[in-house]
């Protein structure tokens, strides 16, 4: 009996060590195989070049409204266990001659209630701090939240929709695939809680190929704001190109990766984070490779992951503007 117990515990220890080793290995650096996932993403459409002078006067501001702090290792494969990563929560304010709108809404006024809807493991692995909501910051600068008639969301996760209810006059624009996805979500998801209060405006990518995307939506038909599909994280995740008159170009990629290293290396989230947040892991890899190839072709393109505060810090923060 004694011998049996000894062997049993030895086996248990071996299994635990092997299991831990396997789990730890899911956090190690592992670049995505670009050749495997590029498909036709290295084919770029020849865009009808809009002369800079013909682009409308458009401005952009980052409105920071909160942050979550966690180990960098949870953010991308190869991230450090000793470094912390500040995930910025933000809305992007765009002022275009035809509309003033926001892209994502960040943490809203009721975020303390909203955070209760996320999985316990996620709440346990990150600490959250709210800052001033986008609506309150606009109000403080004399812009009424009621003047915002349009809010585009990169996708429907809680940290991107929390602030939507603070803009009661805004129609929420989202990709048609994302709207269909929302209908499949359990009632515990924040977007379902808010759904009754929001006016949905689903859109399709009805314009032709743009850069290495085979479909796009040129929002105002003037080349300034172009929406593109970035499926994977959710089925209807959306990226937004902003082409400013100064020649500055930005691409907002939502949660395709949480940090810019994801596109640069390129690499994905570690296994545990993927299981918590990504619906289609292969889709995420394909979309990451697409953005990676774009960055290689246009080194001056500013790619903005929704939660990379280091990049938010390099851009104009509200009320300052990028032109
Ligand atoms: Zn997010």
pLDDT tens for each residue of 221-233: 999 999 999 999 9
Assess if residue 182 is contained within a domain.
Answer: yes
- 114: CB partners within 8 A, 6+ apart: 107, 108, 158, 162, 190, 193
Residue 306 Cα to ligand 1 midpoint, Å, equals: 7
CA of 160 to the centre of ligand 1 (A): 6
In this predicted structure, the answer to whether residue 124 has a pLDDT above a threshold of 90 is: no
Angle formed at CA 233 by CA 18 and CA 107, multiple of 5 degrees = 105
Q: How far is the CA of 8 from the centre of ligand 1 (A)?
A: 44
Number of domains in the chain: 1
Q: Kindly report the CA angle at 209 between 208 and 214, in degrees rounded to 5?
A: 115
CA of 17 to the centre of ligand 1 (A): 33
In a domain, 143, yes or no: yes
Distance 323 CA to ligand 1 centre (A): 26
Q: 117: pLDDT confidence band, cut at 50, 70 and 90?
A: confident
Q: How far is the CA of 321 from the centre of ligand 1 (A)?
A: 23
In a domain, 47, yes or no: yes
Centre of ligand 1 to C-alpha 300, Å, is 25
Mean pLDDT value of segment 202-225: 96
C-alpha of residue 51 to centroid of ligand 1, in Å: 34
Residue 4 lies in a domain: no
Inside any domain, residue 223: yes
Structural domain contains residue 177 = yes
Cα(159) to centroid of ligand 1, in Å? Answer: 5
The CATH number of residue 133's host domain is 3.60.15.10
* 84-106: pLDDT as tens digits: 999 999 999 999 999 999 999 99
Cis peptide before 319, with omega less than 30 degrees from 0?
yes
Are the CB atoms for 198 and 172 separated by under 8 Å? yes
Ligand 1 centroid – CA 307 distance (Å) = 7
* Residue-range definition of the domain harbouring residue 290: 31-314
Q: Exposed, middle or buried, 170 (CB in 10 Å: 0-12/13-18/19+)?
A: buried
Residue 14 lies in a domain: no
Which distant-in-sequence residues (6+ apart) come within 8 Å of 166 by Cβ? 105, 108, 109, 133, 134, 135, 136, 145
Q: Is residue 319 part of a domain?
A: no
């Amino acid at each position: 009996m004694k011998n049996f117990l000894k062997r049993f515990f030895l086996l248990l220890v071996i299994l635990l060590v092997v299991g831990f080793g396997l789990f730890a290995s899911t956090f190690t650096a592992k670049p995505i195989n670009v050749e495997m996932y590029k498909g036709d993403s290295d084919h770029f459409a020849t865009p009808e070049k809009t002369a800079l002078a013909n682009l409308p006067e458009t401005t952009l501001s980052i409105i920071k409204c909160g942050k979550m702090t966690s180990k960098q290792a949870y953010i991308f494969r190869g991230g450090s266990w000793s470094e912390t990563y500040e995930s910025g929560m933000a809305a992007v304010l765009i002022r275009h001659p035809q509309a003033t709108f926001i892209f994502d809404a960040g943490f809203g006024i009721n975020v303390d209630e909203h955070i209760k809807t996320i999985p316990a493991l996620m709440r346990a692995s990150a600490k959250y701090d709210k800052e001033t909501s986008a609506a309150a910051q606009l109000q403080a600068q004399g812009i009424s939240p009621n003047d915002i008639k349009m809010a585009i969301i990169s996708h429907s996760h809680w940290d991107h929709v929390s602030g939507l209810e603070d803009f009661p006059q805004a129609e929420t624009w989202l990709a048609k695939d994302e709207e269909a996805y929302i209908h499949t979500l359990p009632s515990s998801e924040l977007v379902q809680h808010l759904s009754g209060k929001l006016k949905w405006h689903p859109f399709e990518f009805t314009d032709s190929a743009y850069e290495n995307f085979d479909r796009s939506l040129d929002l105002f038909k003037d080349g300034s704001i172009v929406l593109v599909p970035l499926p994977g994280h959710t089925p209807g995740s959306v990226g937004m190109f902003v082409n400013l008159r100064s020649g500055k170009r930005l691409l907002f990629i939502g949660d395709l990766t949480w940090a810019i290293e994801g596109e640069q290396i390129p690499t994905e989230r570690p296994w545990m984070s993927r299981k918590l947040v990504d619906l289609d892991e292969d889709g995420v890899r394909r979309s990451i490779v697409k953005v990676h190839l774009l960055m290689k072709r246009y080194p001056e393109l500013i790619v903005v992951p929704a939660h990379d505060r280091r990049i938010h810090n390099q851009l104009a923060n509200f009320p300052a503007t990028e032109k």
